[in-house]
Amino acid sequence: MQGVKRKLVYVTAYELIGMTISALGLALLSGTAPTTTGPLSVIITTIAVCWNFIWNTLFEWWESRQASRTRTVKRRILHAVGFQLTLVIFLIPLIAWWMEITLVQAFLLDMALIVIIPCYTFIYNWAFDKLFGVPASAQPEVESAAR
């Protein structure tokens, strides 16, 4: 599976699982009910879906221009950590506003997710690639038979 279809399947499954992790994690950490954190998780997921699509497009563009296009552990870690750190820029202010807490409190509340989500992302990406194969950007270039 390649292209837009791959990205849509990837993002949909990733975010549904991620939304569940976020809703339950935020409820547990904040001591509030999932009815409070559930809608927040839907908003977080919407932002994450959009950013995930953009992030993967940018990452695959970068990856396709590298001398080695193999998805090494180092590259997978870079992908997972980069996604999470850039996503935090969008989420901390949202969490602070939604839960009526300071940015520092929102950051502290989000710390567990900042650790858990990259681990989840790494495992999910590995499993997704095993299930569906790696994208064209991570496949070695095949030399043309005409050469």
**Domain boundaries defined on the chain:** 3-133
CA separation for the pair 147, 134 (Å, rounded): 26
Q: Is 67 helix (H, G, I), strand (E, B) or coil?
A: coil
pLDDT of 46 above 50: yes
pLDDT band at 54 (very low <50, low <70, confident <90, very high): very high
- C-beta atoms surrounding 141 within 10 Å: 8
How far are the Cα atoms of 35, 39, 78, 96, 117 from residue 24, in angstroms, in the given order?
Answer: 10, 12, 26, 17, 13
pLDDT recorded at residue 144: 46
Q: For residue 13, what are the contacts with CB-CB under 8 A and spacing of at least 6?
A: 124, 128
24 vs 93: which has the higher pLDDT: 93
Task: Determine the length of the chain.
Answer: 147
90 vs 143: which has the higher pLDDT: 90
CA separation for the pair 89, 85 (Å, rounded): 7
CA separation for the pair 41, 22 (Å, rounded): 6
**Six token digits for residue 130:** 């095993």
pLDDT band at 104 (very low <50, low <70, confident <90, very high): very high
Give 144: exposed, middle or buried? Use CB within 10 Å, 0-12, 13-18, 19+. exposed
